[in-house]
Amino acid sequence: MKYQKALQRLLLDDPLRMKALYAVQALKLSDSWIGAGFVRDAVWDHLHGYGHRSVAGDVDVVWCDPQRCHPAHDSGLEEQLRQQSATFNWSVKNQARMHQRNGNNPYRSTENALRYWPETATAVAVRAGGPDRIEIIAPYGLDDLFELRLRPTPQFRNEKLDVFRQRLATKRWPERYPLLQLIAP
């Protein structure tokens, strides 16, 4: 995968993000990753020359286990993570139930769930795979992320395009990251 080594190096060189990755790894959850802004912002900050900045917003922990779908389980995991590291605003979501909120068919895995996220550059997740090793899932690849292209995933190109546009306005990406290229239908 193009850009895989660059993403791995970027995260391995960021002690704050590695702390979050190791905290999630310690939970030993099924198919667990950290995704969305945690990864996207690290790359875009780097490409804009901002250096290592603190993690803004939620740290989105995504995992998939159809046997533990109750939201209370996720809340308990968030509390465990807060006790381990209160530095982060943890958000834990079992992807085995998130299809209900999104009006989709059940997701088979975390990687499958990422296909239904709004932007290609956000549909990326990582996890610590051992000492000095970062594993990556990116169903749309890493090109848009590293080439500063912001575009909706196929699920958000038509009937959900308003959601994409709302996120664009709310998150103020073009203001925060002026080198972004907006690619929207």
Decide: 137 and 33 in contact? Cβ < 8 Å: yes
Does the predicted TM-score (pTM) go above 0.75?
yes
Q: Which domains does the chain have, with CATH numbers?
A: 4-147 (3.30.460.10)
- Helix 15-27 with 71-84: angle, nearest 10 deg: 130
Gap between the Cα atoms of 93 and 145, Å rounded: 23
Pick the closest to residue 91 from 40, 34, 45 (CA basis): 34
Decide: 135 and 112 in contact? Cβ < 8 Å: no
The pLDDT, as a whole number, for residue 183 is: 93
Instruction: List per-residue pLDDT tens for the chain, 185 residues long.
Output: 689 999 999 999 999 999 999 999 999 998 999 999 999 999 999 999 998 888 888 999 999 999 988 899 999 999 999 999 999 999 999 998 988 777 778 899 999 999 999 999 999 999 999 778 999 999 999 999 999 999 999 989 988 899 999 999 999 999 999 999 999 77
Query: How many CB atoms within 10 Å of residue 51?
Result: 8
User: The tokens of 157 are what?
Assistant: 């190109």
How many CA atoms within 13 Å lie on the side-chain side of 156? Answer: 24
